[in-house]
Amino acid sequence: MYHSAKYNEPLLNELTDAKVEKIEEIKEMPKSLHRTRKIGIPNLDETQVVRHFHRLSQMNYGIDSGVYPLGSCTMKYNPKICEQIASWEKFANTHPYQDVSTVQGNLQIMFELERMLCEITGMDYFCLQPAAGAHGEFTGMLLTKAYHEYKNDTERTEVILPDTAHGTNPASATMAGFKLIEIPSNDEGTVDLEALENTLSEKTACFMLTNPNTLGIFESDILEISKMVHKSGALLYYDGANMNAIMGKIRPGDMGFDIVHLNLHKTFSTPHGGGGPGSGPVGVNIKLEKFLPVPRLCKSRDGKYFFDYDAPESIGKIKGFYGNFSVLLKAYIYIKMMGKDGLKEASEIAVLNSNYMKKKILNSKKYDMPYKQLRKHEFVLSCEKLKQEKQITAKDVAKRLLDYGLHPPTVYFPLIVKEALMIEPTETESKKDLDKYIEALIKIADEKPDIVKNAPNNVSVKRVDEVGATKNPILTWDMI
């Protein structure tokens, strides 16, 4: 059975006796700013530091450790070549304010990436500035605002979302100053057209949608939805978190979406880095172009790239410099390697893997799957039956999977599925590994409740008291 490394690794400040000492003052410095005591960071040897972080790394699970089917997170393999090239000095050691003639390579990468993302999504223009998906959503919401204000349509203060929306959607819309209206999904797990029709009004600024949605179900009524939304004068926003399901099959632009954000750290295989950096470029159709953030990237007739800041209707800047360039570069390399057929196949196999797992797990009758059967790249199981019969919750199943050396799915999301396990295998997992995962899920359902409820036992710590961490927050060395 699987066992991960388990060290009782001390904290850095416990590796040595950190002494608080006085420090030498610098005469030329203004007196009021003199530092008088040493900063409380320990002085260690390089060996100590290396071993400390090396041990910590061994108590961490990444996609290189094994299957990582977090729903809506698209944890696919991150090609090593992308990391290697992005760390080349020629890219990594360039400064954003260098004369543009000395960074034509960087600008070419960004320019071509914008064009490639336009083609993949069916949008007219792209802006690479947002640092993450949520940042892209916020940018999209500011674009929405600017669009309506430009048309003197200032009463449009509401954003509509389905109850299956990602948490960032309502948070981003609120940050942009919009009022939220959540509409319930229908019995199929998709947008309830009647509810949407009744909610749309002259106050609606935008309808935010993920397609396929977070249940992994494709919104087949999308053309109808698009018509309704546009008829009411609102815009249609595409949350691209689930783009990995549809590349080369259908495009958000063709579905009628006006604004799209992508998560390069999901669909385009740049690593998540334990939480970031990511990148959340935003694409728009032509009617929103003039509102895009500055600077815009341009190419002159003689093939030289440059930045254009002259955009009077622009929403302005939303991040320092031009975006998370190192992430953009990795995504560019990924797309170049995959090519048109590779991207299409990635989506096809991501959907095949998902449906394969779904079918095999449902055949076991251990878990249920509410709503429509055909899923795309992800599907959401319910552990409600296990809970009723054996008091085993989704959380218990998740923790037990860790003992099998498997990373759990996303749990308790979307909120409309009870005891939810949201599984997204991605295209980079082999059938063998999928079978192993399926087998573990089925086995766990048959295990004694005691074993499952007391999991995990084979990882670096036992079940962690998350409630305690919030009730009595200890957030630094000094607070211990």
Within positions 95 to 134, which residues make up the interface with other proteins, using CB under 8 A? 95-99, 101-106, 108-109, 116, 119-120, 131-134
Angle at which helices 104-121 and 325-363 cross, to 10°: 30
456 upstream amide cis, omega within 30 of 0: yes
**198 part of the interface to other proteins, by CB under 8 A:** no
Binding residue (CB under 8 A) for other proteins from 17, 30, 302, 310: 30
Q: Which of 191, 247, 386, 397 binds other proteins (CB under 8 A)?
A: 247
Of positions 183, 225, 259, 343, contacts other proteins by CB under 8 A: 343
Reduced to 3 states (helix: H, G, I; strand: E, B; else coil), residue 414 is: coil
Scan residues 63-82 and list those touching other proteins (CB under 8 A): 63-65, 68, 70, 73, 75-79, 81
- Give the other-Cβ count within 10 Å of 394's Cβ: 26
Name the minimum Å distance from CB 344 to other proteins. Answer: 7
Q: Are 397 and 386 in contact (CB under 8 A)?
A: yes
User: Closest separation between CB of residue 202 and other proteins, Å?
Assistant: 21
Q: Name residues contacting other proteins, limited to 285-304 (CB under 8 A).
A: 293
Q: Can you tell me which of 113, 225, 255, 381 binds other proteins, judged by CB under 8 A?
A: 255
Q: Of these, 156, 261, 265, 296, which contacts other proteins (CB under 8 A)?
A: 265
| Binding track over 301-340 against other proteins, x by CB under 8 A | --------------xxxxxxxxxxxxxx----x-xxxxxx
If one asks whether residue 469 binds other proteins (CB under 8 A), the answer comes out as yes
Q: How many residues bind other proteins (CB under 8 A)?
A: 196
Q: How many residues are present in the chain? A: 480
Beta bridge mates, 240:
262
Q: Is 417 exposed, middle or buried (0-12, 13-18, 19+ CB in 10 A)?
A: buried
147 binds other proteins (CB under 8 A): no
Of 3, 151, 157, 167, the one binding other proteins by CB under 8 A? 167
By CB under 8 A, the residues from 398 to 417 that bind other proteins are: 398-399, 402, 407-408, 410, 413
- Tell me how far apart the alpha carbons of residues 380 and 377 are, in angstroms, rounded to a whole number: 11
Amino acid at 134: A
Q: Is 83 in the site for other proteins (CB under 8 A)?
A: yes
Closest CA to 121 of 242, 322, 283: 283
CB of 92 to other proteins, least distance (A): 4
3-state secondary structure of 276: coil
- Which of 292, 392, 438, 459: binder of other proteins (CB under 8 A)? 459
Q: Are strands 179-183 and 410-411 parallel, antiparallel or unpaired?
A: unpaired
359: which DSSP letter?
H
- As given in the structure block, the two tokens for residue 444 are 């766990």
Neighbours of 217 (CB within 10 A): 23
Contact 4, 406 (CB under 8 A): no
User: For residues 10 and 17, what is the distance between their CA atoms, to the nearest angstrom?
Assistant: 12
Asked if 442 touches other proteins (CB under 8 A), the answer is: no
C-alpha separations of 477 from 2, 39, 180, 346, 460 in Å: 32, 13, 40, 45, 21
Query: Residue 298 or residue 469: which is nearer to other proteins going by CB?
Result: 469
What minimum distance in Å lies between the beta carbon of 320 and other proteins? 3
Residue 322 near residue 104 (C-beta atoms within 8 A): no
d(CA 217, CA 278): 25
What is the rounded CA–CA span in Å between residue 345 and residue 153? 43
Long-range contacts of 336-339 (CB under 8 A, 24+ apart): 337/79, 337/81
Minimal distance in Å, beta carbon 325 to other proteins? 4
Binding-site member from 365, 431, 443, 448 for other proteins (CB under 8 A): 431
Toward other proteins, which CB reaches closer, 157 or 388?
Answer: 157
Binding residue for other proteins, selected from 113, 123, 127, 142, defined by CB under 8 A: 142
Q: Which residue from 290, 385, 418, 463 is in contact with other proteins, where contact means CB under 8 A?
A: 463
- Binding other proteins (rule: CB under 8 A), the pick from 194, 276, 308, 391 is 276
Segment interacting with other proteins, rule: CB under 8 A, options 58-66, 194-202, 283-291, 439-447: 58-66
Nearer to other proteins, 200 or 438 (CB): 438
